[in-house]
Amino acid sequence: MQLSLKQYRQIVVLTGAGVSVASGLRPYRGPGGWWADHPEDLEMATAEAAAADPMAPWRVFATLRKGVAEATPNAAHVALATAEAKMRPGTSLTIVTQNVDGLHQAAGSSNVIEIHGNLSRTRCSRTDCDLPAYRDRTTVVEALPRCPRCESPLRPDVVLFGEEMPARPMWETKQLLRDCDLFLAVGTSGTVSPASNFVRSAEYAGARTIFVNLEPLSPPNPAFQEQVLGPAESVLPVMLGVAGT
Ligand SMILES: [Zn+2]
């Protein structure tokens, strides 16, 4: 299937772990995911553990940061960045990603909303502190880093288990979906939140909705009108009409 992107005004692409598998990053969640093999890390990646011991998220994510620092974008990331660059003035293609690896931006995409944060960013643990989140690729953290402005512990800027998704990116996504005319979900489960909520909003707005994944939707989600099966790095370049560019 090849889409004619010129027909669309506001495209929203939700991406998940399946998009980064070809970059050597294994999914965190689900069967065969990182957490399933590292139950002790999973316990430390929770809001509760971080509240009891602010070093807990550093211990878990220092290892994962190393994998992200070594990964490079694959053909799926590049296809999305190329498609965005080809959008005409007054139209937009926005990526809403559950991934925390920063690979969309590394591929050149500029409209990227990160709903689970970014592993290569650090922020103050106090949400009302005015220290801006900053890029940080440190992979070895021996002592708890503290905020230069308020002395609170610093933390990786990712959403821990048991935490709400950040308000601003979720609000931005809802605004976009309200007026979207093409919605793609790529490499993510189409039946659980947030994909299941996002596709319903897009469908309500009258968008064409397409599910792209290795595995078919199970159980089926009628809000997705079409389904394309295959690895994201093979499907997207063809679907977006940017193969070989
Ligand atoms: Zn602070």
pLDDT confidence tier of residue 92, bands split at 50, 70 and 90: very high
What are the pLDDT digits (tens) for 211-230?
999 999 988 899 999 999 99
When the pLDDT of each residue in the chain is averaged and rounded to a whole number, the result is 92
Which residue's structure tokens are 């490499």?
187
User: Ligand 1 centre and the CA of 242: distance in Å?
Assistant: 44
Between CA 174 and CA 200 the distance in angstroms is 11
User: Ligand 1 centre and the CA of 160: distance in Å?
Assistant: 18
User: Ligand 1 centre and the CA of 92: distance in Å?
Assistant: 35
CATH H-level, domain 26-70+125-157: superfamily:
SIR2/SIRT2 'Small Domain' (3.30.1600.10)
pLDDT of residue 245: 60
* Catalytic residue annotation: 116
Domain ranges of the chain: 1-24+73-116+159-245, 26-70+125-157
Q: Rounded to two decimals, what is the model's pTM? A: 0.94
Q: Is there a contact between 158 and 119 (Cβ–Cβ < 8 Å)?
A: yes
Spell out the long-range contacts of 29-34 with Cβ–Cβ below 8 A and sequence spacing 24 or more. 30/189, 34/64
pLDDT at 141 over 90: no
Between CA 103 and CA 106 the distance in angstroms is 5
Question: Average of pLDDT values for 230-240?
Answer: 97
Fold of the 1-24+73-116+159-245 domain: Rossmann fold (3.40.50)
pLDDT of residue 27: 79
User: Ligand 1 centre and the CA of 156: distance in Å?
Assistant: 13
N-terminal to C-terminal alpha carbon distance within the chain: 17
Which residue's structure tokens are 């909520």?
197
pLDDT at 190 over 90: no
pLDDT at 140 over 90: no
User: Ligand 1 centre and the CA of 133: distance in Å?
Assistant: 10
* Planar angle of CA 173, 133, 51, nearest 5 degrees: 95
